[in-house]
């Protein structure tokens, strides 16, 4: 990383610098300077601490208080290895001390309708979407809580690469589905890497959505990001060749030029969701 300034400036660019002088900056510094962790000490995470973090995560907002998310803490080492094996293209996952799986759960809601003998009149995309969002909100809260007590985390969408197998291994019934895994442990390094983001002018809008100048902003972001955290490898070199100006936009365009999780919609429909 060249010429580090502050977590806020490194993250969002010079234009965000003035926010450092404002209210709340020092309290929010740990969040502003956070980063995902993929390399851990071998130390176990105490089971009570994991449970406390689950309590913090599930205290986060939940749509209409429906509470449509569950967390599965993987304690069985054999099961952890079997799940990690399904994601072996990311070799670091095999070494993680603790694995959790955040699930969307629309099953309990449907049970309430059976118990109280009321029709379930919302069998459409929103039922899936609300449960998925609820799980995402809890995931985010867990990450911030864990990082606040000195743990490192990395969400793992690769848990959905073989959703059928993961679902079998975890015994997920109808209307319960994995949203993301989460690697948890004590970070091998004390300082997380601050991953630069698009400038706030691009992603925070006032009153009305605005994408004026977006292409130039992306070019500028690519350049700023390359100055701070250049990519070590170029994705899909065999197919796309090497690029002298390889940056975030090229990396993301290459990433989604390859099919990923084409079967996930079928998996979710097979779980009983009507996505119309």
Ligand X SMILES: Cc1cc2nc3c(=O)[nH]c(=O)nc-3n(C[C@H](O)[C@H](O)[C@H](O)COP(=O)(O)O)c2cc1C
* Residues of this chain that bind ligand X (CB under 6 A): 35-36, 38, 90, 154-158, 180, 195
Tokens of 98: 């603790």
d(CA 53, CA 34): 17
Are 137 and 65 a contacting pair, CB within 8 Å? no
Distance CA 155, CA 129 (A): 19
Comparing CB distances to ligand X, the nearer of 99 and 158 is 158
Please, which residue, 127 or 194, has the CB nearer to ligand X?
194
> Please, which residues have CB within 8 angstroms of residue 96's CB and are 6 or more apart in sequence?
40, 80, 84, 183, 184, 185
Which neighbouring-strand residues pair with 185? 152
Please state, in angstroms and rounded to a whole number, the distance separating the CA atoms of residues 193 and 154: 12
Select 6 or 195, whichever has its Cβ closest to ligand X. 195
Distances (CA, A) of 198 to 129, 225, 251, 275: 26, 9, 14, 32
Of residues 122 and 161, the one with the C-beta less far from ligand X? 161
Helix segments in 67-184, DSSP class H: 77-85, 107-115, 125-148, 163-170
Q: Closest separation between CB of residue 192 and ligand X, Å? A: 7
Shortest Å distance, C-beta 260 to ligand X: 11
Smallest distance from the beta carbon of 68 to ligand X, in angstroms?
17
State which residue, 7 or 127, has the beta carbon closest to ligand X: 7
Q: How far apart are CA 201 and CA 52, in angstroms?
A: 37
Q: Are 63 and 122 in contact (CB under 8 A)?
A: no
Least CB distance to ligand X at residue 266 (A): 20
Question: Looking at beta carbons only, is 110 or 200 nearer to ligand X?
Answer: 200
Interatomic CA distance for residues 57 and 137, integer angstroms: 8
Whole-angstrom distance, CA of residue 161 vs CA of residue 163: 6
Name the minimum Å distance from CB 130 to ligand X. Answer: 17
Cβ contact 70:106 at 8 Å: no
Q: How far is the CB of 139 from ligand X (least distance, A)?
A: 7
Nearest distance in Å: CB 40, ligand X = 13
Q: Closer to ligand X by CB, 84 or 172: give it.
A: 84
């Amino acid at each position: 990383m060249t010429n580090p300034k502050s977590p806020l400036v490194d993250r969002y660019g010079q234009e965000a610098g003035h926010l450092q002088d404002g209210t709340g900056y020092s309290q929010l510094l740990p969040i502003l300077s956070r980063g995902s962790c993929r390399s851990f000490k071998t130390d176990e995470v105490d089971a009570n601490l994991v449970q406390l973090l689950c309590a913090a995560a599930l205290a986060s907002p939940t749509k209409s208080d429906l509470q449509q998310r569950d967390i599965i803490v993987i304690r069985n080492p054999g099961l952890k290895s079997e799940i990690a094996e399904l994601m072996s293209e990311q070799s670091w996952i095999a070494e993680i001390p603790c694995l959790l799986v955040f699930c969307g759960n629309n099953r309990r809601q449907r049970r309430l309708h059976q118990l109280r003998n009321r029709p379930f009149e919302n069998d459409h995309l929103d039922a899936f979407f609300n449960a998925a969002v609820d799980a995402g909100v809890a995931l985010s809260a867990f990450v911030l809580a864990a990082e606040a007590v000195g743990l490192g985390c990395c969400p793992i969408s690769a848990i959905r690469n073989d959703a059928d197998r993961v679902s079998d291994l975890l015994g997920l019934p109808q209307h319960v589905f994995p949203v993301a895994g989460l690697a948890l442990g004590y970070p091998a390094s004390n300082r997380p890497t601050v991953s630069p983001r698009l400038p706030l002018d691009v992603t925070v809008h006032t009153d009305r959505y605005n994408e004026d100048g977006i292409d130039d902003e992306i070019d500028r972001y690519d350049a700023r990001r390359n100055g701070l955290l250049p990519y070590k490898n170029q994705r899909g070199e065999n197919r796309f060749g090497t690029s002298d100006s390889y940056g975030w936009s090229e990396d993301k365009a290459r990433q989604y030029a390859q099919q990923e999780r084409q079967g996930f919609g079928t998996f979710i429909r097979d779980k009983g969701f009507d996505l119309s």
